[in-house]
C-alpha cells in the first residue's frame, strides 16, 4: 500500500505513464483487462474469418448462378458430378437435384421425366431446409461479436467501478482526499472502460457489416431457390 501511495505522490506532479497506470490498477481491473484482451483477439479472428468466408461465398455464388443460367436442363450440372466447396448456392442446388433425381427414379433404376405435385412439394420443403442450413452456416460465429459488442463496455464499467471503490477506500484509510491523491487511482480505474470500448467499437462495426452481408446472401439463396423450383416445375412437373 505504501508503494502505491508513493506512485501516487510522484504521479501527482507529472503525467502518468502506461506502466504506472497499470501498476495502479487493482488486481480485479487487471483480470478484466486480460479478459477483454482475449475477447478482442477472438472478435478480430471471427471478423476476419467470417469476412473471408462471406467474400468467397459471394464470389462463388456469382460464378455458379451464371453457369446455372446457361444450362439447358436443370439437372445438367448435377450430372457432371461437380463439387464446389464453400458455395451456398451450389449446396442448395445439389440438395434439390439429389431429391429430384430420387423422385424421378423408378424401382428398376430407370428415370422417368415427370413427378407429381406431391413429390414437387417434398422437393420444395427440402430446398427450404437447405437454404436454412446454409444461412445458419454463414451466421455461425456472429454470436461472439454480439457478446463483444454488448459485454465489452459492461466489463469495462465493472472494472472502473471496482477501481474507483478501491481508490476511495484508500483515501478513507489515509484520510486525505486531495485531487493529486485521487486522480491517478481514478485514471487507472478508467483504463478498463477504455479497454471495453476498444473491444466493443470495432466489433460493432464488423458485426453490422457482417449482418448486412449475411442478409444479402440469404436473400440470394431464397431467390435462387425460387428460380430453381420454377425450372424444375417447368421441366418435370406432371400436369394433373
Q: Grid cell 456469382 — which residue? A: 62
Q: What CA–CA distances, in Å, run from 203 to 11, 57, 132, 152, 153?
A: 34, 22, 25, 9, 11
177 with 171: CB under 8 angstroms? Answer: yes
pLDDT at residue 5, rounded to an integer: 41
In the three-class reduction of DSSP (H, G, I as helix; E, B as strand; rest coil), residue 208 is classed as helix
- Determine the pLDDT at residue 7: 43
Average pLDDT for runs of 10 along the chain of length 240: 45 56 73 91 94 93 91 87 86 92 80 85 92 93 92 88 75 61 69 90 95 94 93 82
In the prediction, which pLDDT does 17 show? 62
Cα 83–Cα 71–Cα 126 angle in degrees, nearest 5: 60
Per-residue pLDDT at 16: 56
- Whole-model pTM? 0.79
Question: How much is the pLDDT for 38?
Answer: 94
Amino acid at each position: 500500500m505504501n508503494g502505491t501511495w508513493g506512485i501516487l505522490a510522484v504521479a501527482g506532479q507529472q503525467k502518468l505513464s502506461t506502466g504506472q497506470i497499470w501498476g495502479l490498477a487493482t488486481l480485479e481491473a487487471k483480470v478484466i483487462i486480460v479478459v477483454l484482451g482475449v475477447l478482442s483477439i477472438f472478435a478480430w479472428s471471427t471478423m476476419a474469418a467470417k469476412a473471408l468466408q462471406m467474400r468467397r461465398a459471394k464470389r462463388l455464388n456469382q460464378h455458379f448462378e451464371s453457369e446455372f443460367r446457361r444450362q439447358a436442363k436443370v439437372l445438367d450440372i448435377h450430372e457432371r458430378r461437380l463439387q464446389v466447396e464453400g458455395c451456398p448456392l451450389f449446396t442448395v442446388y445439389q440438395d434439390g437435384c439429389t431429391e429430384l433425381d430420387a423422385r424421378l427414379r423408378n424401382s428398376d433404376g430407370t428415370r422417368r421425366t415427370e413427378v407429381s405435385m406431391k413429390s414437387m412439394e417434398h422437393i420444395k420443403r427440402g430446398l427450404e431446409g437447405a437454404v436454412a442450413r446454409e444461412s445458419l452456416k454463414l451466421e455461425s460465429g456472429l454470436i461472439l461479436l454480439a457478446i463483444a459488442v454488448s459485454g465489452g463496455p459492461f466489463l469495462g464499467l465493472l472494472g472502473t467501478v471496482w477501481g474507483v471503490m478501491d481508490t476511495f477506500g484508500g483515501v478513507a484509510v489515509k484520510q486525505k482526499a486531495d485531487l493529486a491523491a485521487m486522480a491517478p487511482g481514478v485514471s487507472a480505474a478508467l483504463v478498463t472502460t477504455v479497454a471495453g470500448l476498444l473491444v466493443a467499437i470495432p466489433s460493432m462495426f464488423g458485426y453490422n457489416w457482417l449482418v448486412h452481408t449475411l442478409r444479402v446472401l440469404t436473400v440470394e439463396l431464397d431467390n435462387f431457390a425460387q428460380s430453381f423450383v420454377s425450372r424444375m416445375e417447368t421441366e418435370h412437373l406432371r400436369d394433373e
